[in-house]
């Protein structure tokens, strides 16, 4: 299979997963294919599926494309979202330790528009990103990534109960504070949510009773 045929196949799979074709899918597929090649991972969906860990630096469309091509998943702990808001990702071969960080070139869009000046911006990019050489689209940097045991795929390395809220905390995400083992929110007082005031915990029994009330 040629590289172009592989790209089209991966793009179709990415679009099916993501829900529509967009520039993020185009760039994400190209970036992932290059990352796999440079990291020495030939069969990420088969024999090499346990060799790869990917760190994606954006939580937008390209992340879905990278997941589709590489088979890396958050639930398998083989994909990590490091949201720097950048079109970039690092591909780590867990077997060899080889890693490469790839990011979109700042001038890639200008090059795309120069290739097809008669098309509108989006159309020019959609067409050019299929054809441009990797070197014109991406910057690549060999890097080292130190992955801690608590962040590796596999069974949880630690399981504790927060002394404050009682919730279970996995994989050493707990915090020791004043002689207590706490979850991070209880230790810092910071969460991404705010509890509604004057609410009662909805236990399974309470929910079942509510369902019976007409």
Condensed to tens digits (0 to 9), the pLDDT of residues 169-205 reads 999 999 999 999 999 999 999 889 888 887 656 655 6
- Residue 52 bridge partners (DSSP): 93
Residue span of the structural domain in which 58 resides: 3-151
pLDDT-derived band of residue 77, with 50, 70 and 90 as boundaries?
very high
Pair 54, 104 in one domain: yes
Q: In CATH, what number is assigned to the domain containing residue 138?
A: 3.30.1330.130
Tell me, yes or no, whether 25 and 106 share the same domain: yes
Beta-strand ranges (E) seen in the chain are 52-56, 79-81, 88-93, 99-104, 138-142, 159-161, 168-170, 175-177, 180-182
pTM exceeds 0.75 for this model: yes
Task: Assess whether pLDDT exceeds 60 at residue 55.
Answer: yes
Q: How does DSSP assign 89-130, residue by residue?
A: EEEEETTT--EEEEEE-TTHHHHHHHH-TTS-HHHHHHHHHH
Residue 200, pLDDT score? 55
- Indicate if the pLDDT at residue 107 is higher than 90: yes
Contacts of 138 (CB under 8 A, 6+ apart): 30, 31, 34, 102, 103, 104, 105, 108
């Amino acid at each position: 299979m040629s590289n172009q045929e592989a790209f089209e196949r991966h793009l179709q799979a990415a679009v099916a997963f993501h829900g529509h074709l967009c520039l993020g899918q185009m760039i994400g597929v190209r970036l992932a294919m290059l990352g796999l090649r440079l990291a020495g991972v030939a069969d990420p969906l088969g024999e090499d599926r346990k060799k790869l860990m990917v760190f994606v630096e954006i939580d937008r469309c390209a992340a879905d494309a990278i997941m589709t091509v590489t088979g890396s998943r958050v639930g398998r702990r083989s994909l990590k979202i490091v949201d720097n808001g950048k079109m970039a990702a690092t591909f780590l071969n867990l077997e060899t330790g080889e890693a490469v960080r790839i990011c979109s070139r700042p001038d890639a869009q200008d090059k795309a528009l120069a290739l097809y000046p008669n098309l509108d911006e989006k159309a020019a990019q959609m067409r050019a990103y299929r054809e441009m050489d990797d070197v014109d689209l991406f910057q690549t940097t060999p890097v080292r990534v130190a992955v801690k045991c608590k962040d590796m795929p596999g069974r949880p390395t630690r399981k504790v109960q927060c002394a404050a809220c009682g919730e279970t905390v996995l994989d050493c995400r707990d915090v020791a504070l004043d002689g207590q083992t706490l979850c991070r929110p209880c230790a810092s007082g910071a969460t991404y949510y705010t509890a509604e005031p004057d609410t009662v915990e909805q236990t399974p029994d309470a929910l079942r009773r509510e369902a019976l009330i007409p």
